[in-house]
Amino acid sequence: MQKKEYMLRAIELAKQGVGWTSPNPLVGAVIVKDGRIIGEGYHEKYGELHAERNAIKHLKESAEGATIYVTLEPCCHYGKQPPCTEAIAEAGIKKVVIGSRDPNPLVAGKGVRFLRAQGIEVEEDFMREECDELNPVFFHFIQMKRPYIVMKYAMTMDGKIATKTGKSKWITSEQSRKIVHEMRHQYTAIMAGIGTVLKDDPMLNTRIEGKKSPIRIICDSKLQIPLESKICQSAKEYPTIIACADAEQEKKADLEMLGVQVLEVSKEGRVDLKKLIEILGEQKIDSILLEGGGTLNESMLRENLVNEVHVFLAPKIFGGKGAPSPVEGCGICEVKDAKEFYLQDIRKIGEDVQLTYRKEVPKCLQEL
């Protein structure tokens, strides 16, 4: 095997932690000696062993003189786990090959300096682009202190998310809908508007065995949500936040009795989305899957809060001037005022197509 294959294996291992490590990053590690993999591991769950310590734990033989390939700079501070840099040095590893640099101020180059001070050879930025791709959420949250927001919607070839009578079940295939539930597992929270709740009475959970469900966030300016809705009735099972502009105190108390957290964040009679996102960041919510309708989607875009967009495109045409689109509101007058995103990935799912778009990577991340 070649160096690239070892790091690709570390990346593959890291991906097994998707949905479980938040707010920590996804990390994989592979230990190589005499051209053989003698240990490997990944960060499996928040609070548990980091990738490097897991790889050392699963060693088949002594790591004296070995090389470790790790997708992210090893940590050098005490958190829920002791420093990985110390474990690497104690294991007798002679070389560390690192993919991504860690922007966390507690690490940010300190791990590399510690290793070199121990006489360990360090190679940085190996397959950095591929390793960076593991952790857009982590990098964004560390730098911006607010959640990474992924807008998701399904639409027809002519850009409709429902028929003119509001019917939307089902635009896409069962395969595509399963991927959406996997995405709900992947992100820390899911956000929808009150219109979705009143129309569909959804659970907004993950219906895949063995996967976790996200924290549910409902934007409901006038606190219209029915107490008997599935969201409210299951709030003690699935953490639920309702953001409103104005809360009638009796209704707020009733919701809190059901286990709902009510956040009052008002701006001109509507939910102050920027303030809401700031508060959610303070609550350590590092990522949100936005499953809004056209109104909420437009509001989030207008406030420049969306980092990534996933479009599930179905081979159907609905037509109709009154059929809703993914982004509504007043719209723009000039093409130059459009919100621009960059195509990241195209994936065929049966007869559907999943398109992934992102904003540009911030220069501060490129220059780390």
Report how far apart the first and last C-alpha atoms of the chain are (Å, whole number). Answer: 30
Length of the chain equals: 368
Active-site residue, selected from the candidate residues 5, 40, 52, 291: 52
Contact 123, 255 (CB under 8 A): no
Supply angle C-alpha 337, 342, 348, rounded to 5.
130
Q: Which residue has the tokens 């919510």?
A: 285
Q: Find all residues with CB under 8 Å of 136, minimum gap 6, and list them.
A: 148, 307, 308, 358
Q: Which long-range contacts (CB under 8 A, 24 or more apart) does 42-46 make?
A: 42/10, 42/13, 42/14, 42/16, 42/17, 43/14, 43/17, 44/16, 44/17, 44/20, 45/17, 45/20, 45/21, 46/20, 46/21, 46/22, 46/80
Rg of the chain over all Cα atoms, to the nearest angstrom: 23
DSSP H helices in the chain: 3-14, 51-57, 84-90, 110-117, 128-132, 136-144, 174-186, 194-200, 230-233, 249-257, 273-282, 294-302, 363-366
Beta bridge partners of 262: 242
Locate 229 and state its tokens: 């809705």
Could you please report the per-residue DSSP string of 336-359?
GGS---EEEEEEEETTEEEEEEEP
> 114 burial class (0-12, 13-18, 19+ CB within 10 angstroms)?
buried
Annotation says 73 is catalytic: no
- State the Cα–Cα distance between residues 205 and 168, nearest whole angstrom: 19
Could you please report the per-residue DSSP string of 255-270?
HHHTTEEEEE-EETTE
- State the Cα–Cα distance between residues 122 and 126, nearest whole angstrom: 10
Query: Which residues are identified as catalytic?
Result: 52
